[in-house]
């Protein structure tokens, strides 16, 4: 019965029912699609015009930045309070490049205008054009106000802006040129590879396909390059007065922080110029630090300055300030909403030196005068080159404190802070080496000033005593070797001499004979006990230790008169003279006063230039040095100046007794000798030991002696010593020999 035919009406009724049902489903699906599309479009609109605006406003509402708080580095002062180095705060005005650029960048101008409009008007061409005109007007007012505030002309403003824009545009052009060159090379190489006719057709087709799929399509015009320098602020006005900086920071409406910012720098200043330049040293920015602080939006690190020489380096950890750290919250107008100091800044401590500026300046002028022939070499009658350099060191015989420490030539520290590369190179090429710290790092043969040490060794070894007489024939064994200076000059001799005579007249033969008898052992022993061949322990890094050779029978004779391969520093020689004057105590030279803030307790120690030194050790008595030995040597040293036959008569100063020793050290190579004079004053009540050394100046008595005399006169005039006898009417005789 299943196959029975159905009525035609029934079939039509069911077809109509199915059609209606399908149409309803289609309508429902279409309606759902429309509703879904409306929901998506509504959500897109909501995200773009409502949510985005809310998030944008929220992101612009506040901004937090970590800012460094500058700290002052400590001052370096002379003993009389003159500032030799201190920190000065400098203010620079940095301006955003887009505010400098002329004509204004179109994209930047459009973005600035859009930021001033509500979201609904940002697509309105008329509103956008009006806003752009407002931005340009504000930009014009900004520069007019800045010119008036800084006191610069419109031409000067144009020059500064033009220099900055030209620099940035050169950078952009260079980057674009390199990009175009790389693109051209890449395109040429790719075309050559795929169009090589020697390849099979299928391989060429494959390479072309790969190139088309992997290479970006060629553009008619490459996108413009935007450097980060175009989006940054750049220093434009340097070292402006504080009122200018304060006005900019307090007027954000006139000087928007996005346009201009005040950058604060701490600048090291050396107001005394070249006074004690080698002792003070230099403080410079560390190479590992950024060029400058980046302001509120930048890093929390400040540029770090470190001492690179002299006291600046020795006491760097004491002088250097520790920057603080502040967390600041800004609103969209860069106004401070909240500020909290996370770490307080700590200023560096001041350092007071041991010498007074007046005596130091006199000592430097004395050296400058001694080297003055270097400026008039063409007018000089002498065939010898002028002195190349010199040093003058004076030390308190009881405490070791430096009374004066002069060197020449030297540089102006204030000038070095603004020197160009060419100027620096000129200084480096100067054959006189003005940057060389001669006070602490000079090491040279001492010549006859070393005979003082030989005399100590001879007396303490029992080889001679004060009454021993030896005969000088002008030379030791042969007239062409081991001779006295007067024999070389005139063929004369000293005859029979005692130790006092030998010191007074600087008799080489006496010391040759004495050393031959006692052997090299005592010479080495007493040299070490007096500190030769080792640094003195002065509180400045890089001190020269000199060279104390191990003497043999063949070299001991030359060593006894300060020659051979012996090298000593001015500080070592000054300390030797201080020990003779103070009764045999070896002091440690100090450049910083023990009462200054830089002097820490001995238990804590002071960190100096990467190593740790304790306070100066107490003066140490030289072992087994007898008072009788010192008395004999003191008498001989006083005769060097006071006796008519002495080699140091050029040092005489009326009203004060002087003890010392001349030295004329051979240098070899056909160059003039080094000139030395070392001594102490007053001879009857010693207070100060000193050394004068002039490089390649010739005779110690003739060259170094007059400089020593002038320094002693300066000691009297500045009140460091007083005369101990009536003024002498007769003038001092001319020095002879050494």
User: How much is the pLDDT for 50?
Assistant: 55
Distance, in Å, from the CA atom of 82 to the CA atom of 75, rounded to the nearest integer, reads: 10
Token pair recorded at residue 505: 């007249």
User: How much is the pLDDT for 299?
Assistant: 43
How many other C-beta atoms lie within 10 A of the C-beta of residue 724?
Answer: 13
Contact present, 416 and 518 (Cβ < 8 Å):
no
Structure confidence at residue 178 as a pLDDT band (50, 70, 90): confident
Distance, in Å, from the CA atom of 373 to the CA atom of 388, rounded to the nearest integer, reads: 10
Is 337 inside any structural domain?
A: yes
Report whether pLDDT(607) > 50.
no
pLDDT in tens, 60-84: 567 787 877 778 899 999 999 999 9
Structure confidence at residue 477 as a pLDDT band (50, 70, 90): very high
**Complete edge-to-edge strand list for the sheet that includes strand 62-69:** 62-69, 324-331, 336-343
Same domain? 244 vs 370: no
Residues 491-506 have a mean pLDDT of: 95
Helix (H) or strand (E) holding 510: helix 508-518
**CATH code for the domain of 118:** 3.90.1310.10
Pair type for strands 283-285 and 305-307: antiparallel
Out of 60-69, 483-492, 516-525, 527-536, least confident range:
60-69
Distance, in Å, from the CA atom of 124 to the CA atom of 377, rounded to the nearest integer, reads: 82
Report whether pLDDT(335) > 80.
no
Is 27 inside any structural domain?
A: no
Is 12 inside any structural domain?
A: no
Percent of the chain with pLDDT over 70: 79
Distance, in Å, from the CA atom of 432 to the CA atom of 416, rounded to the nearest integer, reads: 17
Token pair recorded at residue 534: 């080792």
Same domain? 348 vs 366: no
The b-or-e profile of 250-284 (16+ CB within 10 A means b, else e) is eebebbbbbbbbbbbbbebbbebebbbbbbbbbbe
Distance, in Å, from the CA atom of 483 to the CA atom of 510, rounded to the nearest integer, reads: 10
pLDDT in tens, 375-399: 444 444 455 567 889 999 999 999 9
Distance, in Å, from the CA atom of 692 to the CA atom of 678, rounded to the nearest integer, reads: 6
Is 731 inside any structural domain?
A: no
Is 699 inside any structural domain?
A: yes
Is 613 inside any structural domain?
A: no
Which residue reads 């009297």 in tokens?
Answer: 716
Same domain? 323 vs 446: no
User: How much is the pLDDT for 736?
Assistant: 54
Distance, in Å, from the CA atom of 450 to the CA atom of 520, rounded to the nearest integer, reads: 15
Greater pLDDT, 194 or 630:
630
Distance of CA 169 to the CA centre of its chain: 33
Task: Fill in the DSSP letter of residue 732.
Answer: P
Distance, in Å, from the CA atom of 227 to the CA atom of 172, rounded to the nearest integer, reads: 7
Alpha helical stretches, state H, 116-153: 125-150
Same domain? 649 vs 709: yes
pLDDT in tens, 544-599: 999 999 989 889 999 999 999 999 999 999 999 999 999 999 999 999 998 665 44
User: How much is the pLDDT for 1?
Assistant: 47
Distance, in Å, from the CA atom of 201 to the CA atom of 630, rounded to the nearest integer, reads: 106
Distance, in Å, from the CA atom of 104 to the CA atom of 139, rounded to the nearest integer, reads: 10
User: How much is the pLDDT for 75?
Assistant: 94
Torsion, CA 545, CA 524, CA 469, CA 494, rounded to 10? -40
For 68-101, give the DSSP string: EE--PPPPEE-TT--EEEEEEEEEEEEEEHHHH-
Overall domain count for the chain: 2
Q: Which domain holds residue 489?
A: 357-376+383-415+438-598+622-717
Q: Angle, nearest 10°, between helix axes 520-529 and 508-518?
A: 100
Distance, in Å, from the CA atom of 447 to the CA atom of 672, rounded to the nearest integer, reads: 13
112: nearest Cα among 137, 143, 135, 139: 135
Same domain? 448 vs 586: yes
Same domain? 119 vs 230: yes
What's the whole-number average pLDDT of the chain? 83
Greater pLDDT, 41 or 315:
315
List 394's β-bridge partners, or say none: 404, 690
Helix (H) or strand (E) holding 402: strand 402-408
Distance, in Å, from the CA atom of 640 to the CA atom of 660, rounded to the nearest integer, reads: 6
Contact present, 472 and 497 (Cβ < 8 Å):
yes
280: nearest Cα among 540, 10, 52: 540
Q: Is 365 helix (H, G, I), strand (E, B) or coil?
A: helix
Same domain? 499 vs 539: yes
The three state secondary structure string of 407-445 is EECCCCHHHHCCCCHHHHHHHHHCCCCCCCCHHHHCCEC
User: How much is the pLDDT for 379?
Assistant: 47
CA distances, 146 to each of 200, 245, 260, 451, 735 (Å): 71, 11, 10, 72, 69
Residues 663-688 have a mean pLDDT of: 93
**CATH code for the domain of 679:** 3.40.710.10
Structure confidence at residue 322 as a pLDDT band (50, 70, 90): confident
Same domain? 252 vs 184: yes
353: nearest Cα among 87, 537, 79: 79
646: nearest Cα among 664, 632, 656, 660: 660
Torsion, CA 162, CA 163, CA 165, CA 166, rounded to 10? 110
Percent of the chain with pLDDT over 90: 54
Structure confidence at residue 326 as a pLDDT band (50, 70, 90): confident
Same domain? 337 vs 445: no
Is 588 inside any structural domain?
A: yes
Structure confidence at residue 22 as a pLDDT band (50, 70, 90): low
Same domain? 323 vs 401: no
Structure confidence at residue 25 as a pLDDT band (50, 70, 90): low
Report whether pLDDT(374) > 70.
no
User: How much is the pLDDT for 610?
Assistant: 39
Report whether pLDDT(603) > 50.
no
User: How much is the pLDDT for 192?
Assistant: 62
Distance, in Å, from the CA atom of 152 to the CA atom of 163, rounded to the nearest integer, reads: 16
Contact present, 410 and 278 (Cβ < 8 Å):
yes
Residues 140-167 have a mean pLDDT of: 93
Same domain? 293 vs 346: yes
Which residue reads 């004779």 in tokens?
Answer: 557
Contact present, 574 and 690 (Cβ < 8 Å):
yes
Structure confidence at residue 291 as a pLDDT band (50, 70, 90): very low
For the chain, helix (H) and strand (E) counts, in that order, are 24, 21
Task: Fill in the DSSP letter of residue 539.
Answer: S
Distance, in Å, from the CA atom of 548 to the CA atom of 559, rounded to the nearest integer, reads: 9
Q: Is 687 helix (H, G, I), strand (E, B) or coil?
A: coil
Q: Is 217 helix (H, G, I), strand (E, B) or coil?
A: coil
pLDDT in tens, 448-475: 999 999 999 999 999 999 999 999 999 9
First to last CA, the chain: 154
User: How much is the pLDDT for 121?
Assistant: 86
Torsion, CA 273, CA 279, CA 283, CA 288, rounded to 10? 140
Report whether pLDDT(301) > 80.
no
pLDDT in tens, 211-265: 666 666 555 455 677 888 888 889 999 989 989 989 988 888 888 888 888 888 7
Distance, in Å, from the CA atom of 394 to the CA atom of 690, rounded to the nearest integer, reads: 4
Residues 687-692 have a mean pLDDT of: 97
Same domain? 444 vs 333: no
Maximum mean pLDDT: which of 211-225, 341-355, 516-530, 594-608 = 516-530
Contact present, 672 and 705 (Cβ < 8 Å):
no
Is 9 inside any structural domain?
A: no
User: How much is the pLDDT for 357?
Assistant: 95
Q: What are phi and psi of 438, to 5 degrees?
A: -65, -30
């Amino acid at each position: 019965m299943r196959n029975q035919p159905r009525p035609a009406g029934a079939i039509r009724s069911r077809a109509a029912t199915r059609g209606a049902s399908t149409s309803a489903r289609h309508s429902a699906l279409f309606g759902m699609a429309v509703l879904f599309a409306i929901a998506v479009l509504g959500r897109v609109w909501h995200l773009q015009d409502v949510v985005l605006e809310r998030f944008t406003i929220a992101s612009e509402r506040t901004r937090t930045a970590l800012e460094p708080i500058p700290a002052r580095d400590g001052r370096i002062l002379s003993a009389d309070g003159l500032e030799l180095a201190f920190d000065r705060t400098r203010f620079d005005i940095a301006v955003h490049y887009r505010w400098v650029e002329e004509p204004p960048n179109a994209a930047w101008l459009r973005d600035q205008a859009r930021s001033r409009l509500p979201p609904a008007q940002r697509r309105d061409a008329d509103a956008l054009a009006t806003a752009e005109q407002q931005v340009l007007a504000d930009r014009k007012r900004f520069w007019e106000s800045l010119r008036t505030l800084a006191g610069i002309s419109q031409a000067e403003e144009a020059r500064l802006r033009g220099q900055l824009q030209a620099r940035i545009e050169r950078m952009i052009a260079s980057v674009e040129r390199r990009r175009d060159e790389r693109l051209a090379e890449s395109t040429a190489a790719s075309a050559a590879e795929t169009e090589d006719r020697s390849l099979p057709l299928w391989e060429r087709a494959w390479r072309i396909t790969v190139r088309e799929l992997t290479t970006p399509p060629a553009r008619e015009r490459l996108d413009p390059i935007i450097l980060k320098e175009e989006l940054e602020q750049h220093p434009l006005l340097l070292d402006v007065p504080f009122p200018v900086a304060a006005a900019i920071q307090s007027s954000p409406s006139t000087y928007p922080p996005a346009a201009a910012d005040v950058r604060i720098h701490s600048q090291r200043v050396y107001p005394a110029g070249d006074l004690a330049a080698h002792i003070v040293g230099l403080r410079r920015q560390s190479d590992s630090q950024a060029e400058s602080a980046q302001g509120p939006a930048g890093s929390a690190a400040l540029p770090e300055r470190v001492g690179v020489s002299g006291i600046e380096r020795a006491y760097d950890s004491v002088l250097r300030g520790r920057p603080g750290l502040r967390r600041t919250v800004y609103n969209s107008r860069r106004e401070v909403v909240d500020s909290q100091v996370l770490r307080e800044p700590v200023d560096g401590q001041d350092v007071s030196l041991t010498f007074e500026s007046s005596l130091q300046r006199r000592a430097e002028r004395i050296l400058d005068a001694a080297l003055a022939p270097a400026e008039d070499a063409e007018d000089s009658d002498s065939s010898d080159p002028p002195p190349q350099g010199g040093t003058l060191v004076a030390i308190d015989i009881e405490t070791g404190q430096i009374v004066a420490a002069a060197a020449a030539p030297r540089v102006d520290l204030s000038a070095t802070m603004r020197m160009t590369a060419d100027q620096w190179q000129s200084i480096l090429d100067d054959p006189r080496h003005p940057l060389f710290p001669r006070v602490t790092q000079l090491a040279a043969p001492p010549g006859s000033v070393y005979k003082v040490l030989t005399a100590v060794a001879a007396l303490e070894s029992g080889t001679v005593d004060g009454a021993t007489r030896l005969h000088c024939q002008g030379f030791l064994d042969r007239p062409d070797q081991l001779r006295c200076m007067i024999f070389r000059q005139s063929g004369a001799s000293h005859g029979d001499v005692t130790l006092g005579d030998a010191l007074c007249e600087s008799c080489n033969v006496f010391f040759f004979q004495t050393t031959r008898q006692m052997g090299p052992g005592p010479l080495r022993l007493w040299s070490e006990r007096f500190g030769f061949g080792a640094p003195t322990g002065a509180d400045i890094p890089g001190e020269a230790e000199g060279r104390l050779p191990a003497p043999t029978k063949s070299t001991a004779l030359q060593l006894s008169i300060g020659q051979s391969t012996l090298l000593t520093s001015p500080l070592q020689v000054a300390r030797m003279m201080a020990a003779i004057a103070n009764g045999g105590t070896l002091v440690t030279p100090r450049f910083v006063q023990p009462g200054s803030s830089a002097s820490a307790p001995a238990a804590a120690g002071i960190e100096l230039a990467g190593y740790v030194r304790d306070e100066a050790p107490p003066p140490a008595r030289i072992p087994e040095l007898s008072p009788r030995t010192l008395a004999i040597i003191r008498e001989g040293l006083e005769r060097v100046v006071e006796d008519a036959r002495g080699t140091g008569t050029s040092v005489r100063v009326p009203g004060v007794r002087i003890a010392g020793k001349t030295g004329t050290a051979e240098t070899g190579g056909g160059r003039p000798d080094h000139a030395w004079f070392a001594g102490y004053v007053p001879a009857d009540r010693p207070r100060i030991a000193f050394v004068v050394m002039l490089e390649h100046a010739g005779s110690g008595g003739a060259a170094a002696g007059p400089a020593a005399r002038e320094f002693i006169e300066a000691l009297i005039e500045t009140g460091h010593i007083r005369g101990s006898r009536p003024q002498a009417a007769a003038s001092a005789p001319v020095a002879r020999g050494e």
